[in-house]
Amino acid sequence: MKVLVTGANGQLGRDMVLLLEKEGHAVMACGREQLDITDQFQSNDIISTYHPEAVIHCAAYTAVDAAETDVDGAYLINATGTRNIAVAAEQIGAKLIYISTDYVFDGTSDVPYQEYDNTNPQSVYGKSKRAGEMLVQSLSSRWFIVRTSWVYGVYGNNFVKTMLKLGQEKPKLQVVHDQKGSPTYTVDLAHFLIELMSTEKYGVYHASNSGACTWYEFTQAIFEEAKRIPDIDIQAELEPCITDQFPRPAPRPRNSVMDHLSIRTNGLKDLRAWREGLRDFLKEIHIEQN
């Protein structure tokens, strides 16, 4: 299949492009230098010229705390930019996959969120990503909205890399134990997106690695798995804490666990357990570093 990927230099985008190429798809990888999604004319021109059968829209404004003061910047990329991609893809009849987020929910539910639950984003980032969802739904006819959470991969900065670094440098580390979610390894998400892309099963999907944990439990697992790898010397003693001890500009959902209802009801393959993904990621970065 002929595929165009936006945000191709990002954490998910890099793995997306590599996997698509590995599986024999023709790929146009568009980072910010190749495609400014906020430029409507350029978006139309590049997408109509390449004429992909599918567009995987990974480009996004993801600086959650910065978005609280840079409201226009967040909406320019996540809403206006997404509109530009949606319109351009629709004009050539391409399928559109829009990557969204658990932040479209307020995090107050006692149970995992399903795809058709009411959204109620609390942060500017979450609101701007929800705006992108609404534009995709109203402007596209062949769309997939894929909400994911707690994403990490080999390329770019992320929570797992930060914890590995701090775990080797700090004697003690406090990590919040009252926010619950599902970590997602970019490679596993990319595999799912390729499977989804080949179908006509349009709609909203929740896609994260299976299972759930708190950030503290995630860090525990990172340290436990890292100790099995040579050259990683975890020193830090881990302590649980609460969100209020580390106030941030943007509110975080206390519960962002998402139920994979659409994956099940559409007969698609669910993502594996989050700890299995973590294990493979740690092996991968160990290989990269050596």
Backbone φ, ψ for residue 50 (5° rounding): -75, -30
* Average pLDDT over the chain, rounded to an integer: 97
The yes-or-no verdict on residue 76 having pLDDT over 80 is: yes
Whole-angstrom distance, CA of residue 115 vs CA of residue 207 = 10
Q: Are 190 and 19 in contact (CB under 8 A)?
A: yes
Could you read off the pLDDT of 213-259 as tens digits, one per residue? 999 999 999 999 999 988 889 999 999 999 999 899 999 999 999 99
What pLDDT, on a 0 to 100 scale, did the predictor assign at position 290?
60
Closest to 177 measured CA to CA, from 218, 224, 209? 218
Whole-angstrom distance, CA of residue 105 vs CA of residue 217 = 22
Whole-angstrom distance, CA of residue 261 vs CA of residue 264 = 5
What pLDDT, on a 0 to 100 scale, did the predictor assign at position 218?
98
Whole-angstrom distance, CA of residue 22 vs CA of residue 164 = 29
The yes-or-no verdict on residue 23 having pLDDT over 70 is: yes
Q: Which pTM does this prediction carry?
A: 0.97
Whole-angstrom distance, CA of residue 37 vs CA of residue 4 = 13
The yes-or-no verdict on residue 58 having pLDDT over 70 is: yes
Is 103 a residue of the active site? no
Burial of 276 (0-12, 13-18, 19+ CB in 10 A): middle
Whole-angstrom distance, CA of residue 85 vs CA of residue 140 = 10
Cα distances from 262 to residues 96, 146, 205, 269, 278, in angstroms, run: 17, 10, 5, 11, 24
Number of C-beta neighbours around residue 119 at 10 A: 18
Residues with Cβ < 8 Å from 167, sequence gap 6 or more? 173, 219, 222, 223, 226, 234, 235, 236
Cα distances from 177 to residues 52, 122, 255, in angstroms, run: 44, 20, 11
Could you read off the pLDDT of 38-54 as tens digits, one per residue? 999 999 999 999 999 99
Query: Which domains does the chain possess?
Result: 2-158+182-211+256-272 (3.40.50.720)
Catalytic residue among 61, 103, 125, 216: 125
Whole-angstrom distance, CA of residue 21 vs CA of residue 134 = 30
222 is written with which tokens?
Answer: 């990172």
In which band, very low, low, confident or very high, does the pLDDT at 122 lie, cut at 50, 70 and 90?
very high
Whole-angstrom distance, CA of residue 175 vs CA of residue 178 = 9
